[in-house]
Each structure stands twice: as structure tokens, then as C-alpha cells.
């Protein structure tokens, strides 16, 4: 009986929440992670939430010999591949590091899967593959034109996996394009723990609310949006986690499949809406100033979630207020992270 779901990068932000959703759906996650951007302490928290900690294999997804051993020794029915690097700015500074980790890592993993006869793969892609879209909501058929090495690494992997699917029968591959994942598990025991100064809005706002940082700089107040600030499709990380379970269940039920699916809410929220919701959720003020636009930022975009609903039977359920309340529970209970 093949019973593990191998979760690469499963100690990280989205991976750890997906382990919770997998366990709740009756799957057994097995984590492979080199802990370059996460902590093994997450395992105790997962044990508290799910009743048992997933096993962790500490290692690198680019290590073919390790992957061959894992597939030879463990009964793995499918892989969810989160392991990768995700800082856009770093990818511009060191593109080779990003292509090695994200593209090469995915190719080594896919080759090991092929050799082992494991052909079900759920891949973490990103809405960043759309670049600056012509229109919102963005359907999966929109043109792809990523604007930085990180985004290109995601698109390259999508293309490689599409070619692999077409090269031989039996592959079940889901390419999941996430919009902006935020929030934390409702328990407040696991959440996002960025190293150093956060680049993304929600962790920055929560650090301002908890008092670690003095104020938020809003990157631009003169965009052509209702309140002049940037608009994004924020999706609760537990909704996203459940989207992976839906994709896995769907893939496992097909003889073969190649799916490209947006995971978002279909609704755009502005920076100021997020800040105000966070103030309501935390009961704390979030001091802010309006600064210049951040280079490379798109004014507004949000996803079309129709395909996810139709094909996977999944839709995001949690509101912006829940995203902020859960982020706050995690941040205020764990001001130093894990
Ligand atoms: P994260 O950094 O919290 O998790 C990634 C995990 O992968 C970490 O635990 C890290 O230690 C591990 N890892 C990295 N390189 C590895 C390697 N070579 N071998 C083994 N483990 C490795 O990031 P996250 O936010 O959970 O993102 C997960 C995935 O989703 C990434 O592929 C990311 O690009 C993608 N994604 C994230 C977002 C987002 O906003 N968080 C948006 C779209 C897509
Ligand atoms: C960024 C990445 C994208 C990645 C996504 C993950 C860039 C250019 N894009 O997208 O590739 O997939 O994160 O969620 O980095 N903002 C502020 N002040 C801050 C931080 C952010 O005003 O201190 C604003 C931004 O200008 C933007 C919004 O908040 O309008 C969201 O920003 P962020 O969380 O960084 O996400 P994205 O820019 O959408």
C-alpha cells in the first residue's frame, strides 16, 4: 500500500499548513526539507495540531542519491513540491542560485520520481508568472511574462513538467498558481516566520502591530485604484492548503492529468483595506506613511478562481478579517517566531 505523500519544503510556511490539511484529510505527510528557511521546531507544533508529527527527512531536493533512497525505502504515492527559494529581490541579485534551487531542484525531483514510478506531482507555482496582466480577474489562459528570475524559474518548471507529461503516459501533474498567501493556522501555533525584514505586506503589518517595527511604509498612494494603494488577491494559507488536498485528490483519481489552476479568492484588496482589517483584528494601531512606489510593482491584480471551483471543487472560504485575526494570533503568541 503506497501511503505517504512526500512534501518537499514541508517545514516551511505553506508546506507546514498543507501537512495539517493532509493529515485532516487522512493522508500521511512525509517531509523532505533542508531547513534553509524553516525550523524543525514546526514538527512539535504539527504534532499538537494533528495529533502526530510528520516524519522529517532533512536533506536537499537536489540530492538525487537521497531522493532515490527515499523512494526506494518509503511507500510514496504522490509528491507535493514546495521546496524552493522565493525572495524576488534575491533572485535578481543571484539568479543562478534561484535557477539551481528552483529549476534544477524540480528536475532532479521529477527524474527521481520517474525512475521510481511515482507519477503524481503537485507543484507550487505562482501568480507571478503572469507578470503585469492585461486584465483582472486573471484566467489561467492569460499570457505569461514573469518580470524577474524568481518568476521565470516558476514558469520554466511549469514548462518542463508540461513536456514531461506529454512525453509519456501516466503522469498526473497539477501546477498551482498561488496569489498572495497570508494568515496562519487558526490555532496560532504555526505561521509565517520571515528571516530579517519582511518584504511582504502581511508579515510587515503584523510586526508593526506587535511593536517590532515602528511603522509601515505604504509603497505608493497614487495608483489608479479606489484608494490609490496597490490591490492584491490575498488568500488564507489554510484555504491554500486545502486547495492542495483538493488537487491531490483530483489528480489521484485520474489516469493521467495536466492541470494549471489559480488558487486565489477572486477578490482584490488594497493595502489600506488590509491595514484597517489588521487594526480591527488586533485592536492595535498600525502607524503608516505613504512612500514612493516599489520598483517592479503592479498596481492591481487578482485571480479568476473559476477553474479551481469547477475542476477541483475548491474555493477559498476564509475572509480578510479571518486572515488578519489568524496572523495576529500567530504573531502575538510567537513574536520571535519558532
Ligand atoms: P518557505 O521558504 O516558508 O518554504 C520553503 C521550504 O523549502 C523551506 O522550509 C525551505 O527550508 C525548503 N527548501 C528550500 N530549498 C530547498 C531545497 N533545495 N531542498 C530542500 N528544502 C528546501 O516558503 P513558502 O512561502 O512556504 O513557499 C513554498 C513554495 O510556494 C515555494 O516554492 C514558493 O516559491 C511558492 N510560492 C510561495 C508564495 C508565497 O507568497 N509564500 C507565493 C507563490 C508561490
Ligand atoms: C510579492 C512578489 C511576488 C510573490 C508574492 C508572494 C514582488 C515584486 N512580487 O508580490 O513575486 O509571488 O510577493 O506573496 O516582490 N506593500 C507595502 N508596504 C510593504 C510591503 C508591501 O505597501 O512594506 C504593498 C505592495 O506595494 C503591494 C502589496 O503591499 O501593493 C502586496 O505586496 P507583497 O506582499 O510584497 O506581495 P506582491 O507584491 O503582490
- Domains of the chain, each with CATH number or no CATH: 4-183+235-266+301-316 (3.40.50.720)
Calculate how far, in angstroms, residue 63's C-alpha sits from the geometric centre of ligand 1: 17
Nearest ligand 1 atom to the CA of 181 is 40
Q: What is the pLDDT of residue 284?
A: 96
Distance from the alpha carbon of residue 276 to the mean position of ligand 1, in angstroms: 28
Q: Measured from the CB, is residue 81 less than 6 Å from ligand 2?
A: no
Ligand 2 site, residue 152, Cβ cutoff 6 A = no
Helices 105-116 and 64-73: crossing angle in degrees, nearest 10, is 30
Q: Among this protein's residues, is 130 annotated catalytic?
A: no
| Residue of 29, 27, 38, 32 lying closest to 68 (CA atoms) | 32
Candidates 225, 224, 229; CA nearest to 288 is: 229
Q: Is the CB of 225 under 6 A from ligand 2?
A: no
C-alpha 211: how far from chain center:
26
pLDDT of residue 2: 55
SS (H, E, C) the chain: CCCEEEEECCCCHHHHHHHHHHHHCCCEEEEEECCCCCCCCHHHHHHHHHCCCCEEEECCCCCHHHHHHHHHHCCEEEEEECCCCCCHHHHHHCHHHHHHHHHHHHHHHHHHHHHHCCCEEEEEEEHHHHCCCCCCCECCCCCCCCCCHHHHHHHHHHHHHHHHHHHCCCCEEEEEEECEEECCCCCCCCCCCCCCCCCCHHHHHHHHHHCCCCCEEEECCCCCCCCCCCEECEEEHHHHHHHHHHHHHHHHCCCCEEEEEEECCCCCEEHHHHHHHHHHHHCCCCCEEEECCCCCCCCECCECCHHHHHHHCCCCCCCHHHHHHHHHHHHHHCCCCC
163 Cα to the center of ligand 1, angstroms: 23
337 close to ligand 2 (CB < 6 Angstrom):
no
Beta bridge partners, 124, equal 176
- For ligand 1, atom 33: residue with the closest CA: 86
Low-confidence ranges of the chain (pLDDT < 50): 1
Q: Could you tell me the distance, in angstroms and rounded to a whole number, from the CA of residue 253 to the centre of ligand 1?
A: 27
**pLDDT value at residue 155:** 98
Q: Give the pTM.
A: 0.98
- For a mutational test of ligand 1's pocket, the pick from 13, 105, 243, i.e. the residue with the most ligand atoms closer than 8 A to its C-beta, is 13
The whole-number pLDDT of residue 1 equals: 46
Amino acid at each position: 500500500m503506497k501511503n505517504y505523500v512526500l512534501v518537499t519544503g514541508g517545514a516551511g510556511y505553506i508546506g507546514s499548513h498543507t501537512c495539517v490539511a493532509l493529515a485532516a484529510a487522512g493522508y500521511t505527510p512525509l517531509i523532505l526539507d533542508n531547513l534553509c528557511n524553516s525550523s524543525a521546531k514546526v514538527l512539535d507544533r504539527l504534532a499538537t495540531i494533528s495529533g502526530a508529527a510528520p516524519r522529517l527527512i532533512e536533506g536537499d531536493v537536489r540530492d538525487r542519491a537521497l531522493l532515490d533512497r527515499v523512494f526506494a525505502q518509503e511507500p510514496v504515492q504522490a509528491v507535493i513540491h514546495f521546496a524552493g527559494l522565493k525572495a524576488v529581490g534575491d533572485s535578481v541579485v543571484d539568479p543562478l542560485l534561484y535557477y539551481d534551487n528552483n529549476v534544477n531542484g524540480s528536475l532532479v525531483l521529477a527524474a527521481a520520481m520517474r525512475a521510481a514510478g511515482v507519477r503524481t506531482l503537485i507543484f507550487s507555482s505562482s501568480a507571478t508568472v503572469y507578470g503585469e496582466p492585461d486584465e483582472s480577474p486573471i484566467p489561467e489562459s492569460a499570457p505569461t511574462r514573469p518580470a524577474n528570475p524568481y518568476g521565470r524559474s516558476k514558469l520554466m518548471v511549469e514548462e518542463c513538467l508540461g513536456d514531461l507529461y506529454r512525453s509519456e503516459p501516466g503522469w498526473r501533474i497539477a501546477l498551482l498558481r498561488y496569489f498572495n498567501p497570508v494568515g496562519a493556522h487558526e490555532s496560532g501555533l504555526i505561521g509565517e516566520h520571515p528571516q530579517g525584514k519582511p518584504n511582504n505586506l502581511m508579515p510587515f503589518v503584523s510586526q508593526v502591530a506587535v511593536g517590532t517595527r515602528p511603522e509601515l511604509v505604504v509603497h505608493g498612494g497614487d495608483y489608479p485604484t479606489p484608494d490609490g494603494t496597490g490591490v492584491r488577491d490575498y488568500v488564507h494559507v489554510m484555504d491554500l492548503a486545502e486547495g492542495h488536498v483538493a488537487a491531490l485528490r483530483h489528480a489521484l483519481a485520474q489516469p493521467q492529468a495536466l492541470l494549471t489552476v489559480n488558487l486565489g479568492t477572486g477578490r482584490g484588496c488594497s493595502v489600506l483595506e488590509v491595514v484597517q482589517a489588521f487594526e480591527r483584528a488586533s485592536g492595535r494601531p498600525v502607524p503608516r506613511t505613504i512612500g514612493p512606489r516599489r520598483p517592479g510593482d503592479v498596481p492591481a491584480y487578482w485571480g479568476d478562481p473559476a477553474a479551481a471551483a469547477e475542476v477541483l471543487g475548491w474555493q477559498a472560504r476564509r475572509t480578510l478579517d479571518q486572515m488578519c485575526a489568524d496572523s495576529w494570533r500567530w504573531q502575538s503568541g510567537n513574536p520571535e517566531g519558532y
